[in-house]
Structure formats: C-alpha cells, structure tokens
Structure 1
Amino acid sequence: MTILTQDSIAPVSFAQSASDPDGFAAALGRSFREYGFAVVRDHGVDQTIIDRAVADTKAFFALPPETKRQYHQEGQGGARGYTPFGIEVAKGAKERDLKEFWHRGRDLPDGHRYARSMPDNVSVAEVDGFDASTKALYEALDTMGRVLLRAIARDLELEETWFDSTVDEGNSVLRLLHYPPIEGEPGGVRAGAHEDINVITLLLGAEEAGLQVKTRNGDWLPIQPPRDALVVNIGDMLQRLTNDVLPSTTHRVVNPSAERMKYPRYSTPFFLHFNPDFEIKTLPGCVSAERPDRYEQPITADAYLTERLREIGLM
C-alpha cells in the first residue's frame, strides 16, 4: 500500500443543494460510490456554534484524569459521558486506540419509548456552558444530516423524504474526541483502521491532520478538509440498507510526524443513526440479477448497534 500525497475527493458546494438539488445529489452519489466519502464545502453550520463547542471540549479534556473519570458510565458501552483513554479498539486490531472521548446523544422526554436504548445525557459541572454548547452542535449537525439524507434519497431514486421518519428520533451521537500528544514510541495509532457503524457520519475539519481513507486500490488517501467543509461518509447501516451500492469505507487516524507529536488533536464526528426499532432491510431498488441481496436477513438498528459495540470493546 502507498500513501497518496494529494486529496483527490472533489468538494461539493452545499449551496448547490438549493439551486440544483438533482445535481447536488448526483455529485454526492458519485463521490460516495467511489470513495464512501464526500467533502461538502460551504456547509452553513454556524461557526460560532462550532467554536464554542470546540473550546468547551478542550476545556473538558484539560481537566484532571480523576475528574474526568467520574463521568465514565459503567455498563453503557460508552453511549453517554466519558470514555477514558485506551479503551476503544478497532475491530480485529490488537492495539487500543490512542484517544479519549465524550458522547452526547438525543434528549428524550420522560417515559419515551426509546429510553431503554438511549440513556440520559450526562451534565458536566466543571466547564460552564459545556452542556449548552455541545447540545447546540449536536442539533446543528443533526439538522444538516437530515438534509444530506434527502440528497442521498434523491440519488437512490427514492422519495426525497424517505429517510425523514427513519431518523427523526434516531440514536445519533456527537463524539468529542481528544487524541493527546504522543510521547516515545506508541504501541498503537490514534484510531485504527475501521468502518463506522451508523448511517452517515458528519465530520468537521480538525486542526491537526491524520485522517486517511482507503481507496479501491488499497492506497491510503489523506483527507484534510478546509475550515468551511464537512467530511461525510457512509456507515455500515446505510451500506447494508443499499446492498453495498453505497460503501462503508475503511478509514483511520494515523500518528503525526515527529515534529507534530507534541500537539493534541481534537475532532467532533457526528454519527447519525436510525431510530432504534427501524428495520434495516435491503432496498428493492438496490437488488438486481447482477447484484443479488447480500443481506437477506433484516435486523433492527438497535440490535445491529449492540452487535457492533461488542466487537470494538465498548460492550
């Protein structure tokens, strides 16, 4: 395998979604089919919301380890609150990832039917504004994700609103990631090669490089989006729903060069999920004589998520 030196994923302007929705959908679809990833520039997510959440994220991870650990929720598979450094491991990997993270999910009213699958969010006392700023970023990316799913529906020749009722109360998660500075010779990488479990992932640009996507040829393609861009990738659930028409592509976060090892890396991926009881069943339009159904047995989104969390060491 080689490391490609130039990002070859052509960005798509989000402004096109209003002026030429069919063209926007087609451009996204081409990028997803080729790479499993797309870069959306001019995304329109309020930069003030982003900056506040990132600042509060940095403040939280700067807290003492014993303070952060009090927010670790035992027995929840990392669904909410804090997951300490070195717990998550990529499926099939031997070394644990060099990261710690925080999960925020959807706020549900008391007695909601999804409460069993979607626990309450955890409030942070030490960082003023943390709860509000991370909720604002969650809601902004949740809204953007639904817009992108409408474009994906268009590309799949579905009704534009097809996904609306499948994700309106989805078990979506905002992950606040901290990759600490690296000292000496690490035994692993910041995030081992993996695919995402969910429907689509929305990723804002990180200050430090490291994200790489595996191409069809087995090469690694670095992705470093500009400040006003989102990286969007297909998750395993959407791959399964589309019978692999839209591929969930392997990606990783590699360790930095020697001169950048002293710098931390922060990232805020939003994992958009189906509603827990949604049945992932292959779309008829994605099955043909040339592409027989590879997933004949349907599975609920919640059962699929639980299965995968066990594989990566969170449950």
Structure 2
Amino acid sequence: MNFVDFHNQHDLVPETPRYIPAPKTRAVLEYADLPIIDLASAGTLEGRIALAAQARDAMTDHGFFCVINHGYKPAQTERIFDIADVPFSRVDDAEKQVYAGTVNETGSYQGYKLRQFWHINNGVRDQIEHYNINRDVNKRAHPPALRPFLPEIAEFARHNHEEVLHPILKLLALGLELPEDALVNLHRYSAVGETSVRFMKYYGRPKEEELKAKNVWLKGHTDIGTLTILYSQPVAALQILAKDGSWKWVKHIENALVINAGDALEFLSGGFYRATIHRVVQPPADQQSYTRLGVFYFAMADDSVTLAPLLESPVLQRVGVTKVFDGVAPPTMEEWRKGRTVAYGQSALTPAGKGVEEEVISGVVVKHYN
C-alpha cells in the first residue's frame, strides 16, 4: 500500500489535531536567489540531462536549490506536518526523557534530541527539540502517541528516498558525467545507515539569551550527509552564507522542497559540489510568537561507503579535486557521521578568525560560523 492509498482510506488513518502553520512574514528580507528544479521533467533522459545542468550549476554556485513537483500533493504535505507535531505536542517531558537518543554513546540522533543539548554561544544553549526516525521505523521503540503513525512515516521515508533523493542523485551524477546510478548505488534503501526522517521544533528564547547569542538559534554549519531534504514552511529563520560573505534568507515556497548538499557529497565530488554553510536565526518580529516546525529527510550514504572523491568522473579529471584528505585516510560514512554527531555542540571549538571556529573530525577541519 503506498502513501496515497493509505491516506485515502480515512478509516485507517489515525486522527491527530491539525497543525496550523504561521502566516507568512511581512518583513522585508534579503532572500537568496535559489534555482528551482522541476522534477516533472525527470521522467525522460532528455529531461534529466537538462535538469542535470541546472542542478550542477545550483550545487556549484549555491549548494542549495528548491524542488517542485516532487510527488507530494499539498494535502499530503499538510498531513505530514500534522504528524510531525505529535512527538512534541502529544508527549510530555517525562516521556520524552524515556525516548531520548543516546547521542554521545552511539553517535546517533535516533529518538529525541532534547532542548539545551547544544551550546550555541556565550553560555546560551539551544531551545530546539527534534525527533529522529530511521528509515527503518522499527529500528527502535517510539512513544505510544507516535506509534499509530509509523506506517505513514515509513511510506514518507520511502517516498523521499526513492522519488526525491534518487532522482536528484541521478541528476548530480550526470553533472559529474558519471553513470546515472553512480550515486544512487551508494544510497541503497535497505542498506545499513542513518538516513532518517527528522521532525524538528524551534521554541523562542528570553530576550537576554537572544542578546547573548546574537539572535542565532543554530550557528552556521554544514550538514553531515550527502543531501538534506527540507519541506518548506513559512517561518523565516533559515539563512545561507553567500559567496560574498553575507547571510541570505531562504524564502518559503508553498509545497516546495529545499535541497542542500552536505559534507559527504562534497567529499565524494572532490569539492565540485560544495556543502553549503547555513544557520537558523530568530524569525522576524511578526513571526516570533510562533513555534517553527520542520520536516526533514537527512540522506547519508550507506555506512560502509568510503567518502573518497569519485576520480573516475571526467569532470573531476578536467577541473581537478579541491577537497582532499591530506595525509589522512578518507573516513567511511559511519565514521564521519559518528564523529560529527558526537562532537556537534559539545566539543570545545578553536577560534579561527572573525566569527569562525574550528574543530578536527577524522583528521578533517570542520568550521562553525557565528
């Protein structure tokens, strides 16, 4: 049974309160000019070749792009946001502790990442909760309130993996002049790995904490995996670091996806596709009374994949490789995700210039931006 069939059989769909999103901001913001990829054209080889050029340019210029016609209708997207709110609004704090992830012990975010787990700046800790569900939804136990929705979450994961992630990976492989399935074969749905659905909720902070943290809710960083799929939502807070050094806002597009490259894709492409630095800041004044609910699909290569540049790419042979592991063996996906997950928001960072801090993971310098 696919998601659409499941959703149409109303007697099988468990009920939950509607999540009412915030109205769009009226603030005048400097938005990033992100390309829009229309997956409706991906059904033919000719269409994919044309889209591949767009995706290649987007990933080399921005590291971000938007996707439309991704196979989910607005009603399905609304439903997944309703479900996304369940682990936050229908589970109390004591029960959240029971299902908290063991991040430091396992290097995995599965379960809850509770508030105030990460240090942001000047002694201020985060006010972000997220709940992570492996694409194998039965990998661990979940709160009772969420269990009736697991079939829908499982179908949501499969849709993202096979109908969004794989088509985009084909475009990016073509952009490297590799066989279409070169990157798909490194992201098998049934493989061991941490590709996950994440529901994430941001809460406001007291004014004194906003001042100390300079209104930054999540400092500038790159993602761990290959691609992050974000379901666009109206609360303006996500910013990307442009090539000119300025922070640009990401504009909400109804029922669109925001796609960005992570470390693993940058490693595999030898720096040709760049992992984009992005952050989350306090929303504009007219949205500060709302919580910000996010729905993500964090895609990572299979745990066993070595994150070395795909040197068989004719593109890399022509333009060269800029992201290398000097004197260090390239990590596997498992080594990289565990190292970064355990360190993030926990380890001491070394100042490295104005607004930049560094740490070393698996012999690789990782930068953070305030």
Tell me, yes or no, if structure 1 residue 68 matches structure 2 residue 91: no
Q: d(CA) in 2 for partners of 1:54 and 1:299?
A: 35
Q: Which position in structure 1 is the counterpart of 2:342?
A: 310
Q: Please show how residues 188-199 of structure 1 align to structure 2 within 5 Å.
A: 188=213, 189-199=216-226
- Listed one character per residue, the Cα deviations across residues 68-106 of structure 1 (whole Å, up to 9, x for unaligned) are 22211333344311111121357x996433201000113
Deviations 1:137-194 (A, max 9, x none): 2222112111110111111100001122211024201111000234433344332211
2:294 is matched with: 267
Q: What amino acid maps onto 1:42 in structure 2? A: N
Amino acid at match of 2:36: P
Verify: 1:180 aligned to 2:212, yes or no. no
Query: Identity rate of aligned residues, in percent?
Result: 22
Call closer, same or farther: CA 1:204–1:283 in 2, change over 3 Å: same
8 A contact 2:240–2:248 mirrored in 1: yes
Alpha-carbon shift at residue 46 of structure 1 (Å): 4.4
Count of matched residue pairs = 302
SS in 2 for 1:280: coil
1:83–1:22: structure 2 CA closer, same or farther, 3 Å change rule? same
The amino acid of 1:178's aligned partner reads K
User: Equivalences for 1:263-302 in 2 at 5 Å?
Assistant: 263-284=290-311, 285=313, 286-287=316-317, 291=321, 294-295=324-325, 297-302=329-334
Residue number among 218, 221, 226 corresponding to 2:253 in the alignment? 226
* Per-residue CA distance 1:239-279 (angstroms, 9 max, x = gap): 01111110001101111133322210001121101111111
CA contact (8 A) 1:78 1:314 kept: no
Amino acid at match of 1:305: R
What is aligned with 2:41? 16
Matched, 1:131 2:150: yes
Amino acid at match of 1:265: R
CA distance in structure 1 between the aligned counterparts of 2:195 and 2:317, rounded to whole angstroms: 28
Q: SS of 2:106's equivalent?
A: coil
Contact 1:57–1:130 (8 Å) recurs in 2:
no
1:103 is aligned to: 132
Q: Does 1:150 align with 2:177?
A: no
Q: 1:132 to 1:182 in 2, by over 3 A?
A: farther
Aligned residues of 1:45 and 1:141 also touching (Cα < 8 A):
no
The amino acid across from 1:232 in the alignment is I
Cα distance, 1:18 vs. partner? 2.2
Q: Confirm or deny that 1:240 pairs with 2:272.
A: no
Shift of 1:302: 0.6
Range 53-62 or range 202-211, more displaced: 53-62
Pair 1:293–1:134, CA change in 2 (3 A): closer
CA distance in 2, matches of 1:283, 1:131: 36
Contact kept in structure 1, 2:266 and 2:323, CA below 8 Å: no
Matched, 1:39 2:33: no
The answer to whether the Cα contact below 8 Å between 1:98 and 1:180 also exists between their aligned partners in 2 is yes
* Runs of 4+ off more than 6 Å: none
Give the TM-score normalised by structure 1: 0.87
Summarize the Cα distance change of 1:231–1:209 in structure 2 as closer, same or farther, 3 Å threshold.
same
State the secondary structure of the residue aligned to 2:171.
helix
The 1:292–1:126 alpha-carbon spacing in structure 2 relative to 1, beyond 3 Å, is closer
Structure 1 or 2, whichever has the larger Rg, is: 2
Q: Which amino acid aligns with 1:96?
A: R
2:117 is aligned with what amino acid?
Answer: I
Once residues 201 and 245 of structure 1 are traced to their aligned partners in structure 2, the CA distance between those partners, rounded to angstroms, is: 17
Relative CO higher for 1 or 2, CA cutoff 8 Å, sep ≥ 6? 1
SS of alignment partner, residue 269 of structure 1: strand
- The C-alpha deviation readout for 1:280-302, integer Å capped at 9, x for no partner, is 11121325585466225322111
SS in 1 for 2:230: strand
Please give the root-mean-square deviation of Cα atoms over the aligned residues, in Å: 2.5
Which is worse superposed, 240-249 or 180-189? 180-189
| Structure 2 partner of 1:57 | 84
Is 1:208 the counterpart of 2:232? The answer is: no
In structure 2, C-alpha distance between the alignment counterparts of 1:6 and 1:239, rounded to whole Å = 24
Q: Which residue, 86, 98, 107 being the options, matches 2:116?
A: 86
Q: For 1:162, give the aligned amino acid.
A: A
Match of 1:233, SS? strand
Per-residue deviation, 1:12: 2.0
AA matched with 1:154: L
Select between 68-77 and 167-176 the one with higher mean Cα deviation. 68-77
**8 Å Cα contact 1:93-1:192 kept in structure 2:** no
Give the unaligned 5+ runs of structure 1.
110-119
